[in-house]
Structure 1
Amino acid sequence: MRTARAQNGFTLIELLIAIAVFVVMAAMAYGGLSSVISTRETVSAALDRSKTLQMSIWRMRGDIEQIVNRPIRDSFGDSQPALFGSPDIGLQFTRNGWRNPLGDIRSNLQRVAYRIDEDDNLVRAHWRVLDRAQDSAPVESVLFENVSNVEWRFLDSNREWQDRWPADASIGASLSGAPTPAGAGNYEPPLAVELRLTTPAWGDLRFLFMIPGAER
């Protein structure tokens, strides 16, 4: 009498159960991986914003804390103060310490300006020469995007804040190079410069920059 041979393998039901378990595990693994990728992208974006903020603060501090009392002549040949600023024109000044790694024949002084452009960005501009010609064009870079509010203030020798500088002069210049009716004069720099601005990424920001060498 013959005996039945044992059959090896999986039944259809067992295969279906195995596939279902694999699908559930794959879905769980994909959900976890997607969450990790999303978190990583969020962290990377936050780190990029933080890096941009730190670089912008470093750039402004390096500029403002090296202000020197050196007036210039603009592209119209008119004298401009070493530093002037107001709510409508922004801030413009002469700074020291312009690095020259290539050894070019030029001054180590640099004319710098901060203004709000037509896209509501806070822009830093600098010129390659101090006393400009009519074809002297600024080199610009964006520091903060979508600025909804910006305020400059200047601390005078009486420890009082002024919303324009020079505080006792009528400055009507623009950062594009239009002349100032008051002329350059002999205006000492303020003791400190304060900047307040508002952006969607950072909300309300306040920066205070001391000017070394200003009369205390």
Structure 2
Amino acid sequence: MSAPATRQQYGFTLIEILVAMAIFTIIGLASTGVLNSVINSDQLSSERFAKLESLQRAMLTMERDILQIVPRTVRVNSEFVSAVLTGGEDVLESDADGISFVRIGWYNPQMLLPRSTLQAVGYRIQEEQLQRLYGNYVDNVIGYEPKIKTLLTDVEDFRVSFLTDREHLEEPEKWQESYSEKALPLAISITIVSKTFGEIRREFMLANGQ
């Protein structure tokens, strides 16, 4: 018997190779697009989460300070200021509203540090930053400059208002827009307008309010 004929082997044609390369290129481009989308989404989520954390820290800091307000006057440039709390437009050279007061509860373990547990603090807006101003001493000498800590960025507006009459507790439009008195108000409202989170309003009832 004669030997069986061997099958003739063929290679890929140029067209087949080009088609295969085109398919792999399309798959690669699609994979790259998906990967970039995932990376950008993750980066955006991380940035958003970081801003949310900053907002939470800022609100907790303000809440702690405001709820610990005490009716204590301060001395500025060696002169006493009669008001225990000052708030409204242009306070502390703010681009919007500002507020300044004295709070208690500044931790000083066993009074080891050369200061009291009282602290003069203030809040203002400058260059779209919500800033907290503070110092080591309540009464400061001439030339003293407060320390500044930025709590939030991209802040478009900062407003404060004050409640002095309980009858207007549920009527925010009737709260005072400025305050400078020898007694504390009943409540303080803080409104922050953020480019990221929009308008945020918080109201704080004061234990030492009039």
TM range (shorter): 0.7 to 0.9
Q: Is 1:47 equivalent to 2:42 in the alignment?
A: no
Tell me whether 3-12 or 196-205 shows the greater mean CA deviation.
3-12
8 Å CA contact 1:95–1:111 kept in 2: the answer is yes
Q: Is 1:27 equivalent to 2:48 in the alignment?
A: no
Query: What residue identity is the alignment partner of 1:164?
Result: S
Matching residue within 192, 198, 206 for 2:187:
192
- What residue is the counterpart of 1:108 in the other structure? 117
Q: Is 1:125 equivalent to 2:127 in the alignment?
A: no
| Other structure's SS at 1:198 match | strand
Tell me whether 57-66 or 77-86 shows the greater mean CA deviation.
77-86
Query: What residue identity is the alignment partner of 1:121?
Result: Q
Distance across 1 between alignment mates of 2:82 and 2:136: 16
CA RMSD, 1 decimal: 2.5
- What residue is the counterpart of 1:150 in the other structure? 158
Tell me whether 46-55 or 138-147 shows the greater mean CA deviation.
138-147
- How far does residue 206 in structure 1 lie from its aligned partner after superposition? 1.2
- What residue is the counterpart of 1:16 in the other structure? 18
- How far does residue 157 in structure 1 lie from its aligned partner after superposition? 4.5
TM-score under structure 2 length normalisation: 0.81
8 Å CA contact 1:74–1:80 kept in 2: the answer is no
Higher helix share: 2
Distance across 2 between alignment mates of 1:149 and 1:55: 18
Q: Is 1:91 equivalent to 2:91 in the alignment?
A: no
Distance across 1 between alignment mates of 2:108 and 2:11: 79
8 Å CA contact 1:100–1:108 kept in 2: the answer is yes
Distance across 2 between alignment mates of 1:22 and 1:74: 73
- How far does residue 80 in structure 1 lie from its aligned partner after superposition? 4.3
Q: How many correspondences in the alignment?
A: 195
- How far does residue 106 in structure 1 lie from its aligned partner after superposition? 1.4
| Other structure's SS at 1:162 match | coil
TM-score under structure 1 length normalisation: 0.79
Query: What residue identity is the alignment partner of 1:156?
Result: T
Distance across 2 between alignment mates of 1:35 and 1:115: 38
Identity %: 32
Higher strand share: 2
Distance across 2 between alignment mates of 1:9 and 1:80: 97
- What residue is the counterpart of 1:180 in the other structure? none
Matching residue within 128, 140, 149 for 1:141:
149
Q: Which runs of no fewer than 5 residues in structure 2 stay unpaired?
A: 92-97, 169-174
- How far does residue 5 in structure 1 lie from its aligned partner after superposition? 7.1
1:98-120: CA deviation from partner (whole Å, max 9, x where unpaired): 12369423111100011222x24
- How far does residue 212 in structure 1 lie from its aligned partner after superposition? 2.4
- What residue is the counterpart of 1:177 in the other structure? none
Query: What residue identity is the alignment partner of 2:192?
Result: L
Distance across 2 between alignment mates of 1:33 and 1:206: 39
Distance across 2 between alignment mates of 1:14 and 1:207: 68
8 Å CA contact 1:125–1:140 kept in 2: the answer is yes
Q: Is 1:74 equivalent to 2:80 in the alignment?
A: no
